[in-house]
Amino acid sequence: MTPTFRRLLIVLLAGFTAHQMLVPLVAPLGRALALTETQMGLVVSVSALSLAVSSPIWGRALDKYGPTVVLTSGLLCATIGLAGFAIAVSAGLDQTLEPATVMTVMLITRSIFFGTGIAALPVVAIAAATASARDEAQRTKAVGFVGAAQGLSLVLGPAAGGALAAASLMAPLIVSPIVLGLLGVWVAARVRPEVRATSIDTTPLIRVRPWDTKVFAALSIAFLLYLSLALIQVVIGFLIADRLLLGPEQTAGAVGIALFLTGVVLVVTQAALVPRLGWPALRLVRVGAPIVIVSFALLLGAGQLWAITAAFMFLALGLGLAIPGFTVLPTLAVDERQAGAVAGLITATTGLTFVIGPVTGTALYEVSEYAPIAASIVVATIAGVVAFSSRALRATRQPGATVSAPR
């Protein structure tokens, strides 16, 4: 692991932890600002859409300008977004602004500015994981660390946000942009990649598109497996409340326990198990996808908190194996100089699922509590079929040339 890659992992962890600090505030902020659940959901969905749209742009910029420019630009955009979001919320809480105006400002700041800016972080991290590795095994291990950093933020962020919110609802909103701003300064000062290269390849590159045969199968698996998660993640609170007959406070505590343990499994799988196994990327996907399917099947009949939590932990195991696999696969099919473009496509693909999944999952839950789980099983099964049947994936090989690694 190169020094630059270690610094990028720190940036990714800190940035997404600041992002996840806001998760516990969604419901209480909505109530305090007189906004509906649908309006708060729209803020999240538009943010995910902004991430999906901007990720390929950040990827192409990364290939052209390098990580320092992309990271500082992204962190600046995200910082402006969160600072504006905090100002809007403060004005709404003291009734300086009407709820409709607050909602509009939130969409501009929290959804568009922040969603666009934060997208730069995983794009740079995935591209760095690709460039810092000499072969497929090292690349898979590096991508596992990227996933572990994001998974750890899912554990640390909500815990920090909840602790700060206990003192003041505004506290996490103030701390988050400060953290991102300081990260931007640190990146500008410390992230200085030195690339080892013996020659400069001036061969023109063909633009990588998501429907290209060499990357489409892997991106399809990424989309389908993340969609299976997005369909069910948003309804876990409803599921626990309805099956266990819990009140709001009890539900929040139960969901917190389930998600904390799920996050721990996700981090351990990607940071420790994947490197120890040393499996090729395709094998990780082919083992992970069936585990995901089984986890949803277990969730269908889970009637106690321990059973629901166990199903989600099993889901984290499957995804923890599959995520490094389907993230690495597209990078094996393209030129090393296209690492940023591919990283942008991967981030956009996974981000798009959180535009579609939450809305679809809640709509299905209104039909039946089993409907979103069944949909997740179907979607994950399709991903498994693609993983086992795609000729393009079987033909993918690690390029023989030595890649240049940032230091």
Q: Among 184, 171, 177, 187, which Cα is nearest to 18's?
A: 177
pTM of this structure: 0.79
Q: Which residue has the higher pLDDT, 334 or 367?
A: 367
The three-state secondary structure class of 406 is: strand
Mean pLDDT (whole number) for 240-255: 78
- Assign 198 a pLDDT band (cuts: 50, 70, 90): very low
Give the span between the Cα atoms of 193 and 170, in whole angstroms. Answer: 37
Q: Which residue has the higher pLDDT, 258 or 265?
A: 265
DSSP string, 127-169: HHHHHT-SSHHHHHHHHHHHHHHHHHHHHHHHHHHHHHHHH-T
The answer to whether 93 and 33 are in contact (CB under 8 A) is yes
* Beta-ladder partners of 406: 195
For residue 318, the model assigns a pLDDT of 96
Query: Does residue 200 have a pLDDT over 50?
Result: no
- Most confident segment among 4-8, 141-145, 205-209, 384-388: 384-388
Our CA dihedral for 31, 33, 37, 38, rounded to 10 degrees, sits at 170
Going from the N-terminus, what domains does the chain have, and what CATH number goes with each?
1-192 (1.20.1250.20), 208-397 (1.20.1250.20)
For residue 247, the model assigns a pLDDT of 75
CA 359 to chain centre: 17
Tens of pLDDT along 154-186? 778 877 877 787 788 888 899 999 988 998 888
Mean pLDDT (whole number) for 36-48: 80
Tens of pLDDT along 309-333? 999 999 999 999 999 888 888 877 6
Give the span between the Cα atoms of 264 and 148, in whole angstroms. Answer: 9
Residues 6+ apart with CB under 8 A from 223: 349, 350, 352, 353
Residue 55: its H or E element: helix 37-65
For residue 337, the model assigns a pLDDT of 61
DSSP string, 193-233: --B--SS---PPPPPP-TTSHHHHHHHHHHHHHHHHHHHHH
For residue 90, the model assigns a pLDDT of 93
Residues 6+ apart with CB under 8 A from 161: 20, 21, 22, 23, 24, 25, 172
Query: What are the φ and ψ backbone dihedral angles of 195, each rounded to 5 degrees?
Result: -95, 130
What letter does residue 135 receive in the DSSP assignment? S
For residue 114, the model assigns a pLDDT of 93
Tens of pLDDT along 382-395? 999 999 988 777 76
For residue 207, the model assigns a pLDDT of 61
Please state, rounded to an integer, the average pLDDT across all residues of the chain. 83
For residue 194, the model assigns a pLDDT of 41
Q: Which residue has the higher pLDDT, 293 or 22?
A: 293
